[in-house]
């Protein structure tokens, strides 16, 4: 809207430095090594949750630093989150059906 406002915000917003990017890149590769290595160990029930948790950590690093959401306005935070929130809705409510089928061992109940 008002150009002045925007300039002020622009100025007050910190910008990521190249070093931050490089460190993030290294962290991502380390996380990859971790998840790839862990996959050879049988964690039983936790195999997939741990792998997905590491994936979430990687995704957060990419979103907040590479995509610079951590350095952006709140509006960008909202739109970065909203897709994932809606994905959550799709998963939760769909799986509420698939996971609760056959509780009573009667077809359809």
Contacting positions for other proteins (CB under 8 A): 1-3, 6-7, 10, 15-16, 18, 21-22, 24-25, 28-29, 32, 35-36, 39-42, 47-48, 51-52, 54-55, 58-59, 62-63, 65-68, 75-76, 79-80, 82-84, 86-87, 89-91, 93-103, 108-109
- Tell me whether residue 12 or residue 96 sits nearer to other proteins (CB atom): 96
Phi, psi of 74 (to 5 degrees): -60, -35
Q: Please state the closest distance from residue 45 (CB atom) to other proteins, in A.
A: 11
Q: Please state the closest distance from residue 103 (CB atom) to other proteins, in A.
A: 7
Q: Which of 21, 7, 27, 14 minimizes the C-alpha distance to 70? A: 14
- Tell me whether residue 12 or residue 103 sits nearer to other proteins (CB atom): 103
Cα 93 to Cα 85: distance, rounded to the nearest angstrom? 12
Identify the burial level of 86 via C-beta atoms within 10 angstroms of its C-beta, where 0-12 means exposed, 13-18 middle and 19 or more buried.
exposed
Strands (E) across the chain are located at none
Q: Please state the closest distance from residue 61 (CB atom) to other proteins, in A.
A: 9
């Amino acid at each position: 809207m008002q150009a002045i406002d925007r300039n002020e915000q622009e100025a007050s917003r910190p910008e990521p430095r190249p070093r931050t990017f490089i460190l993030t890149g290294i962290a991502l590769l380390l996380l990859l090594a971790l998840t790839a290595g862990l996959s050879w160990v049988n964690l039983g029930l936790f195999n997939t949750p741990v792998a997905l948790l590491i994936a979430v950590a990687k995704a957060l690093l990419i979103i907040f630093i590479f995509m610079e959401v951590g350095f952006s306005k709140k509006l960008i935070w909202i739109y970065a989150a909203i897709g994932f929130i809606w994905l959550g809705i799709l998963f939760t409510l769909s799986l509420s059906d698939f996971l609760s089928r056959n509780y009573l061992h009667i077809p359809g109940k």
